[in-house]
Amino acid sequence: MIRVEQVLDSWRTIRQDTAAAVEDLPAGELDYRPTPEVSTFREIARHVLDASDGLIGLLLAGDDDLTAGNFRERLKPHMGALAADAGAAELANALRESIAQRTAQLAAQTPEFFAKMITRFDGQQVTRLEMVQFIKEHELTHRAQLFMYLRLKGIVPATTRRRLAKQAGK
């Protein structure tokens, strides 16, 4: 059985590393993309922020059918007002503030809230807790992209730095 507290704690850790990746990229490099057809570093980080805020906002608002029309428009009221050209410090701060707010809002919900079945945007029937887990996994996917971009710039991501520091301390 998956516990809500574990999911939220894990997501907080993931988000801290996402924000750290934004801060680790050298100044002025947020619009870096390894090839022309992929998203920029900024676009990926912003997508993590907007998708999680929008999807969690819909869940908290009681939306139980994400296949209903105007999906992207329904997400917008739940997203923050961060400028599209926000700098690294602003973006990292927004990522941290968002996870603190959203996980606090989720932690205040009842077990019945998390057990309720909803229809995900792909038509799958899932519980709200499973949807939160999906949103966390979505962020992990994009965090991996950010880490790859850092590696292409010769920067070691925070997770690896922690592991190496721990090994050196043995």
Q: Render pLDDT for 12-29 as a digit per residue (tens, 0 to 9).
A: 999 999 999 999 999 899
Long-range contacts at 162-168 (CB < 8 A, ≥ 24 apart):
none
Give the pLDDT mean for 158-170.
85
For the chain, helix (H) and strand (E) counts, in that order, are 7, 2
Q: Are 91 and 98 in contact (CB under 8 A)?
A: no
Q: What are the residues facing 127 on neighbouring strands?
A: 117
- State the Cα–Cα distance between residues 167 and 134, nearest whole angstrom: 31
Q: Render pLDDT for 85-129 as a digit per residue (tens, 0 to 9).
A: 999 999 999 999 999 999 999 999 999 999 999 999 999 999 999
Question: Domains in the chain, please, with CATH?
Answer: 4-168 (1.20.120.450)
Q: What are the residues facing 119 on neighbouring strands?
A: 65, 125
What's the pTM? 0.93
